[in-house]
Amino acid sequence: VIDIRSLYAKTGMFTYDPGFTSTAACDSSITYIDGDKGELTHRGYPIEQLAEKSNYLEVCYLLLYGELPNKEQMADFEQRVTRHTMVHEQMHYFYRGFRRDAHPMAIVCGVVGAMAAFYHDSTDISDAQQREIASIRMIAKLPTIVAMAYKYSVGQPFVYPRNDLDYASNFLHMCFSVPAEEYKIDPVIARAMDLIFTLHADHEQNASTSTVRLAGSSDANPFACIAAGVACLWGPAHGGANEAALNMLREIGTVDRIPEYIARAKDKSDPFRLMGFGHRVYKNYDPRAKVMQETARQVLEIMGVENNPTLQVAKELEKIAGEDPYFIERKLYPNVDFYSGIILDAIGFPTSMFTAIFALSRTVGWIAQWKEMIADPQKKIGRPRQLYMGEPMRDYVEIASR
C-alpha cells in the first residue's frame, strides 16, 4: 500500500486539476450521480421515485439521517422544523439596513451569515446536539428569510409563517399573502413548488457544496458555512443559470428565431452559450429536467396559459438542439434550470428570486454534507496546492533604483 501523503512529502508530487474535473475531495454516502446514464440517487433512492412519491421535508430527513422516516419520525421532524420557522424579531431591523432594491441573494447571503449573531447558542460545532439545532434552524428559517427578502424588495410588509401549512404552501403564503388578502393556495402550484425544492435538495460535490465543505473544514460556524454556499451559488454558471435561462428564452421570443441562437451557441468566436444546457457531470439527460418539463406543463395549464410562448420556445429549442450534431457530440442536454424558471415565472416570482429559491432548496444538501464532514474522523482542513508560475526568488530593489 502506497502512503500517498508521505509520497507527496518526499517527492513534492501533487495532482494539477483546475476545476477539479477528476479529483475527489471527500468520500460521501449522501448523493450519487451517474452522469453517463443520467441517474441521480439520494441515499440510494432514484430522484424520479422521490419526486413522484415523496415530498421535500421527507427528502430533507432522508438526506440528513440516511433513511426514510417512519410515521412517528416524520411527525417529530415536522414538529421540530415548524417550531423554528420564526426568525428573531430583531432580524426585521437588520433587513432595513439593505437598500430597498437590493438583490434577494445579496440579502439572503448577509442574513444567513448574520444568523450566527442571532443564534450564538448553536455555533458550538463540537457539540452534536448544537449542530443538530443549527441545522433545523436553517432548514426551518430559510423559507422565512427568503420570503422576507422578497417582501422587502417589493416594498410589502413581512408575512409571518403559518405552521399549519406544509413547507411549500407556507413559503407561498409568506411570499404572496398581503394584509388585505390571504394567498389562495392551489394544490398543483404547492406541489410544483415542493417539487422544485425536492429536485434541488442536493447534488453531491458541486461548486457551492464544495464551498460549504471548504469553509466548514476550518471549523467555521454552520451559519457562516451556509452563507459561503449561498455566495457561490449566486454565479450564473451555477445557481444563477435558471434566471439566465428564462431571460434567454424570453429574448429568443418566438420559435422562428431559434436557429439564429443555435448558430450563435455553436460559433466559437461568440461567448454566447445556450443557458440551461450542459452540465459538468451529466453527459446525458438531467433526470431532474424531465420532471421539471412535465411540472411546467401542469402549472401553465392551471394558470390557463398552455400556449405560453416561452414554454413553446423551450420545447422547440430542446428538440432542435437534440437533433444537432454539435450538441449531440458534446452531450449537451437541458439541465434542471432549463424548465424551473418557466415554472417560477408562472407562479409569479420575479427572476431575481429564482436563485434565492434554489438556495433555500439546497440548504438541506449543504447541511447534510457539512454534518457528514464534521462527523468524519478523517476530517482535515481543506488546503489545495498550486502550481506556482511566478518569478523565481530575487533580491529586493530599493525604490530609488527601480
Binding site for ligand ACO (CB under 6 A): 237-239, 241, 265, 273-280, 330, 332, 335-337
Active-site entry in 200, 279, 286, 345? 279
The answer to whether 173 is a known catalytic residue is no
Q: Which is nearer to ligand ACO, 146 or 274 (CB)?
A: 274
DSSP-based three-state secondary structure for 85: coil
CA distances from 349 to 33, 89, 175, 354 (A): 30, 25, 9, 7
Q: Which is nearer to ligand ACO, 131 or 213 (CB)?
A: 213
CB of 330 to ligand ACO, least distance (A): 4
State the Cα–Cα distance between residues 201 and 59, nearest whole angstrom: 8
In terms of Cβ atoms closer than 10 Å to its own Cβ (0-12, 13-18, 19+), residue 317 is buried
Asked if 243 and 354 touch (Cβ cutoff 8 Å), the reply is yes
DSSP-based three-state secondary structure for 334: strand
Active-site entry in 194, 202, 286, 337? 337
Q: Which is nearer to ligand ACO, 277 or 354 (CB)?
A: 277
Residues 6+ apart with CB under 8 A from 368: 30, 63, 64, 202
CB of 327 to ligand ACO, least distance (A): 7
CB of 328 to ligand ACO, least distance (A): 11
CB of 153 to ligand ACO, least distance (A): 23
Q: Which residues of 31-68 are buried (b: 16+ CB within 10 A; e: fewer)?
A: bebeeeebebbbbeeebeebbeebbbbbbbbbbbeeeb
Residues 6+ apart with CB under 8 A from 301: none
Q: How many C-beta atoms lie closer than 10 Å to residue 12's C-beta?
A: 8
Q: Which is nearer to ligand ACO, 48 or 132 (CB)?
A: 48
Q: Which is nearer to ligand ACO, 237 or 328 (CB)?
A: 237
Q: What is the length of the chain? A: 402
Q: Which is nearer to ligand ACO, 330 or 385 (CB)?
A: 330
Asked if 169 and 190 touch (Cβ cutoff 8 Å), the reply is yes
DSSP code string of 105-118: HHHHHHHHHHHHHH
Q: Which is nearer to ligand ACO, 216 or 239 (CB)?
A: 239
Which run of H or E residues covers position 167?
helix 167-176
CB of 248 to ligand ACO, least distance (A): 10
CB of 321 to ligand ACO, least distance (A): 9
Asked if 161 and 144 touch (Cβ cutoff 8 Å), the reply is yes
Which run of H or E residues covers position 40?
strand 39-42
Residue nearest to ligand ACO (CB): 278
State the Cα–Cα distance between residues 209 and 229, nearest whole angstrom: 6
The answer to whether 279 is a known catalytic residue is yes
CB of 42 to ligand ACO, least distance (A): 16
Residues known to be catalytic: 279, 337
